[in-house]
Amino acid sequence: MIPKYVSELFDLPSDGQESENTVPENEAPATAADPVPEKAAQEAPNPAAPAEKSDAPQASGETSDKAKPYMVLARKYRPLTFKDLVGQEALVQTLTNAIKADRIHHAYVLTGIRGIGKTTTARILAKALNCENGPSTTWDDDDKQCKAIAEGRHVDVLEFDAASHTGVDDVRSLFEGVGYQPVQGRYKIYIIDEVHMLSRQAFNALLKTLEEPPAHVKFIFATTEVNKIPVTVLSRCQRFDLKRISVSDLSGHFTSICEQEGIKIEPAAVSAISRAADGSARDGLSLLDQAIALSGGAEISEKLVS
């Protein structure tokens, strides 16, 4: 028996009185199997129903399928064929004649200042040698071999940066597969950029392969300092000196790009950028990129770039 003052203090049921929360002896407690009240069933979400489409904007981390990342002009308008090369007529004529006559050398050295097309020319030459109907100076836009080379995923066209891999072990590792036949293309082509950065020991390791190269292997070296390449290596290669691109050629090139991009620019501004480029197409396109950003969509004037 619970004293009256205790039941009043704690709001406990007195003897003979049932609590509201007390389950009668003859009534079983509710279980999960009991039916849900009608109102609660209406309010409960239906898991089988399709989710409502949200009108909220996408998070900043999500990108639309149609959105394309920005690409600098130098990459967007990089030449893809011989006819796209600017200001290197002698080089283009010599290489196209050699390909047509099937007089293709086993090793080439492309030298010149920065940004005039050395690496680009090497890739174009690789396309010409490995295109599906080649060797040829022209190819279709949908050529699988050329597309793979342009995208840097061709298994038989290997690009090597000698500026960051200068040692003899790097060269030996690169040339481990020289003796094997190409897997996908006609030739196995090694493009070595900044070749003058190789160590003397690395050049010595390279020399043996250059002396007796397999028929299915071609080498293309690019450098800005040809005087640092040993004479023993140069004497085994065909050398091409890429010249500085003239102001008139650069002006025509930049004007064409502005037209394709829908950019308004004064002819005097184009000439000023071409002179400041000092013969380098890449430097000029970098200046043009800056001028476009500075103009804010307005016409680019000579005053703006001077």
pLDDT of res. 40: 47
3-state secondary structure 32-96: CCCCCCHHHHHHCCCCCCCCCCCCCCCCCCCCCCCCCCCCCHHHHCCCCCHHHCCCCHHHHHHHH
Question: Residue 2: pLDDT band by 50, 70, 90 thresholds?
Answer: low
Strand partners, 290: none
Equal fold, 73-241 vs 247-304: no
Q: What's the whole-number average pLDDT of the chain?
A: 84
Cα separation, 132 vs 136, whole angstroms:
9
Q: 259 Cβ partners below 8 Å, 6+ apart?
A: none
Does 3.55.40.10 match the CATH number of domain 247-304?
Answer: no
Put simply, whether the predicted model's pTM sits higher than 0.85 gets the answer: no
The residue extents of the domains of the chain are 73-241, 247-304
115: left (phi over 0), alpha (psi -120 to 50) or beta: left
Type of residue found at 140: D
Average pLDDT of 131-152? 92
Q: How many residues does the chain have?
A: 306
Average pLDDT of 157-163? 91
User: Nearest CA to 160 among 220, 227, 85, 97?
Assistant: 220
Q: Which of residues 62 and 122 earns the better pLDDT score?
A: 122
Note the pLDDT tens digit of each residue in 21-45: 444 454 554 444 445 445 444 555 5
Cα separation, 152 vs 162, whole angstroms:
17
Q: Which of residues 68 and 114 earns the better pLDDT score?
A: 114
Cα separation, 277 vs 287, whole angstroms:
8
Note the pLDDT tens digit of each residue in 219-274: 999 999 999 999 999 999 999 999 999 999 999 999 999 999 999 999 999 999 99
Query: Greatest CA span in the chain, whole angstroms?
Result: 119
pLDDT of res. 286: 96
Average pLDDT of 110-126? 96
CATH node for 73-241: 3.40.50.300
Percent of the chain topping pLDDT 70: 78
Burial of 219 (C-beta count, 10 Å sphere; 0-12/13-18/19+): buried
Cα separation, 124 vs 117, whole angstroms:
10
Question: Residue 141: pLDDT band by 50, 70, 90 thresholds?
Answer: confident
Is the predicted pLDDT of residue 61 greater than 50, yes or no? no
Q: Which of residues 86 and 33 earns the better pLDDT score?
A: 86
